[in-house]
Amino acid sequence: KPSVWLKNRSPPVLPPPRPANSLEVAAMPLDYSKWDKIGDDSDDEAKPSKPKAAAPAKPASRSELAEAPAPAPAVAQSQDMSAEHKRPLDDAPDIELPEGAWTKYYTESMTAPQRMQTMVHLWNSAVQEERVDFLRHLIDIIGNPQISNRIKGGQEILKDLDTSFYDGVTYPAKWVDNFKDKMPTADKKVVFEKLFKSLDNQERGLVLGTLM
């Protein structure tokens, strides 16, 4: 693993999922309700809090909130990308399901920023309805309501992720093209599952952190 990106100021790692038979987990049911109408642009969205002892700030409009990209999962606080993260990935094998060499390539031949950059572009290439499916599938994968119930609801969670943090970091462009144009939603869910499960705990925490 490229330790240069996983030190000092990395975001905290979320705890691993608890077993399904854990008493603490069983006592907290999973709240699916906030994703039931995730595409509904209603007045139920959270309003920004007003600053104390100051004039109230003008809240952003719904259109501004929807257009503003969400922060991408960050593996470091610096944008000083080294050469290894900019290496061309034209040699990446094609994505093949259910199994293929691409998953090994993802974990062993790509750096942490490249892995995050890839997931960001795959997410951004999907339409909103597919993103809802991805979120629900991720919740099932996590299997821990203590974590899943902290995931945001509403339109904000469906926004594009901000790619500027990884400016210059390479990713397998053909993966994104194939994912966007040729894969049915069911296969896309499998791809996201395999990529997420292949990450270490620190990288999973970074991904989950963008959803909370």
DSSP notation for 85-150? GG---TTPPPP-SS--HHHHHHHHTS-HHHHHHHHHHHHHHS-HHHHHHHHHHHHHHH--HHHHTT
Kindly report, residue by residue over 68-116, the tens digit of the pLDDT. 566 666 554 444 558 899 999 999 999 999 889 999 999 999 999 999 9
> What is the mean pLDDT of the segment spanning 189-204?
94
Q: What was the pLDDT predicted at 22?
A: 37
Q: What was the pLDDT predicted at 155?
A: 80
Instruction: Assign 62 a pLDDT band (cuts: 50, 70, 90).
Output: low
Strand partners for 70: 161
CB 130 within 8 A of CB 20: no
Q: What was the pLDDT predicted at 27?
A: 39
Nearest CA-CA partner of 161 in 131, 124, 132, 135: 124
- The residue with greater pLDDT, 6 or 86, is 86
How far apart are alpha carbons 32 and 35 in whole angstroms? 6
- The residue with greater pLDDT, 194 or 53, is 194
Q: What was the pLDDT predicted at 154?
A: 74
Cis amide leading into 15 (omega within 30): no
Nearest CA-CA partner of 13 in 211, 143, 204, 197: 204
Residue 71: phi, psi to the nearest 5?
A: -65, 140
Nearest CA-CA partner of 73 in 147, 14, 143: 14
The first and second tokens of residue 81, run together, are 């990308």
> What is the mean pLDDT of the segment spanning 31-53?
46
* Element spanning 204, H or E: helix 201-209
Mean pLDDT, all residues of the chain: 75
Quick one: what percent of the chain has pLDDT higher than 90?
A: 44
Structure letter (DSSP) for residue 155: G
DSSP strands (E only) in the chain = 70-71, 161-162
- The residue with greater pLDDT, 22 or 41, is 41
Quick one: what percent of the chain has pLDDT higher than 70?
A: 62
CB proximity list for 31: less than 8 A, separation 6 or greater: 145, 148, 149
Residue 46 has pLDDT above 60, yes or no: no
How far apart are alpha carbons 111 and 169 in whole angstroms? 10
Kindly report, residue by residue over 119-168, the tens digit of the pLDDT. 999 999 999 999 999 999 999 998 888 888 888 777 888 899 988 888 89
Nearest CA-CA partner of 72 in 160, 139, 152, 177: 160
How far apart are alpha carbons 98 and 80 in whole angstroms? 36
CB proximity list for 194: less than 8 A, separation 6 or greater: 103
